[in-house]
Amino acid sequence: MTEKKSTGGLAGVTAGKTELCTVGKEGAGLTYRGYDIYDLADNATFEEVAYLLLHGKLPNRAELDGYIAKIKSLRGLPDALKTVLEMVPAEAHPMSVLRTGVSFLGNIEPEGDFANQLNVADKLLACIPSMMVYWHRFHTDGTRIDTETDDDSVSGHILHMLHDKPPPALHEKSLNTTLILYAEHEFNASTFAGRVITGTLSDMHSAVSGAIGALRGPLHGGANEAAMELIQKFESPEEATKGVLGMLERKDLIMGFGHRVYTTSDPRNSVNKAMSKTLAEEAGDMTLYEVSEAIEKVMWDEKKLFANADFFAASVYHFMGIPTYLFTPIFVCSRITGWAAHVMEQRADNKLIRPAADYIGPPLQDWVAIEDRA
Ligand code: COA
């Protein structure tokens, strides 16, 4: 019999098969269905990537046009969902808002037969951005926005709803690129949570609600918000260097650095970093970018830790006028594609996911009546 050893946090453990993505394989830092992330980031739209993940192939022109039209037609929010979003307090975290929104949608438009799964995925892809900005605008400026914009892209839709006008081309393109970079990442914590839920033959809304809960934490998707809070503390690169050295001395975690799978760099970082620089130049203020670079240098010099996808994504979003508390929800607007694709892949060859644990509790004990207990 092979000896079973527990591995902290399941690091290095292969927990299943996927056709969707490779992470950190030699010669190919990150691929979606065999396509290199750099080719996708340079050439694709997020809608093409969503189609690739959900349908298994890149769409041709007619398929893409049809897909964009379908997503646009699904952006509206049912009245009952709008009422729920209005009832969620202004102080709630928008990740909790999305968790509730997706869960509520699962009540009023249940998935039912799994044959409906692609329609559910499309509805979630189309209306998660609507939920996010509807709640945000209602609670910040009292506006009940129309979520049915005419923008072709998800990135245009998000920025249009946020700022009440179609976005500048550079912002739409940059957000499009970050959505591509965030769309899929193999068996990360939130995706794995979604697959565990799916493995019980539960519905897609439950899997996605669970995945949102997992993504929220600062060790996972929440890192982009935490990175922004860190960067904004410093007014100059010198101050940042000194501040981060102090944090390292105190053994603080620096959010936006390190990765469970990548060992020397995160392939998404160079793309985000270049976009952050371009957007800083456009804004005519390099401080945030230079502070970020200084933090990146200290982390590498001191700890050989590299910036992950979340670190420079923070300033990219900031330069587009996206409020910090929406950074992780925007991750959801993208990762819904990967999650839904994993739900479908899990169902196609399902097996209940139920690992074992090493027991470290007390040995078998005698029952003690309540009056005899210490
Ligand atoms: N800041 C400071 N030290 C860090 C660090 C960070 N961001 N990431 C890892 N380390 C240190 C750990 O403290 C640990 O040091 P030790 O061996 O002296 O105890 C060592 O590096 C190994 O880290 P560990 O936490 O065991 O790695 P992991 O694989 O379990 O964790 C992360 C991976 C992503 C959870 C971890 O790097 C982290 O917490 N990063 C910050 C959060 C983040 O950016 N998350 C988004 C990931 S895409």
- Per-residue pLDDT tens over the stretch 56-88: 999 999 999 999 999 999 999 999 999 999 999
Q: In angstroms, how far is the first alpha carbon of the chain from the final one?
A: 42
pLDDT digits (tens, 9 = 90+) for 123-173: 999 999 999 999 999 999 999 999 999 999 999 999 999 999 999 999 999
CA 41 – CA 3 distance, rounded (Å): 44
User: Catalytic annotation on 259?
Assistant: yes
Integer angstrom CA distances of residue 162 from 106, 205, 332: 25, 25, 16
Which atom of ligand 1 is the closest one to the Cα of 266?
A: 48
Q: What is the pLDDT of residue 6?
A: 59
Give the chain's residues under pLDDT 70.
1-7
Selected catalytic residue, list 185, 310, 318, 342: 310
Selected catalytic residue, list 259, 266, 318, 342: 259
pTM for this model (two decimals): 0.95
Q: Whose CA is nearest to atom 18 of ligand 1?
A: 251
Residue in 184, 228, 251, 257 to alter for ligand 1 test, most ligand atoms within 8 A of Cβ: 257
Q: What is the pLDDT of residue 269?
A: 96
CA 348 – CA 234 distance, rounded (Å): 49
Q: What is the pLDDT of residue 5?
A: 54
CA 109 – CA 123 distance, rounded (Å): 10
Q: Which residues line ligand 1 (CB under 6 A)?
A: 9, 11, 219-220, 223, 253-260, 303, 305, 308-310
Domain boundaries of the chain, sorted by first residue: 16-218+325-348, 223-319
Assess if CATH 3.40.1390.20 describes domain 223-319. Answer: no
Q: What is the pLDDT of residue 127?
A: 98
Q: Whose CA is nearest to atom 26 of ligand 1?
A: 260
User: Catalytic annotation on 220?
Assistant: yes
Nearest 5°: the CA angle 203, 204, 208 is 125
Q: What is the pLDDT of residue 26?
A: 78
Q: Where are the alpha helices (DSSP H) in 142-264?
A: 154-163, 169-182, 189-199, 204-216, 223-231, 237-249
16-218+325-348: CATH number? 1.10.580.10
Q: Whose CA is nearest to atom 24 of ligand 1?
A: 260
Ligand 1 centroid distance, CA of 219 (Å): 8
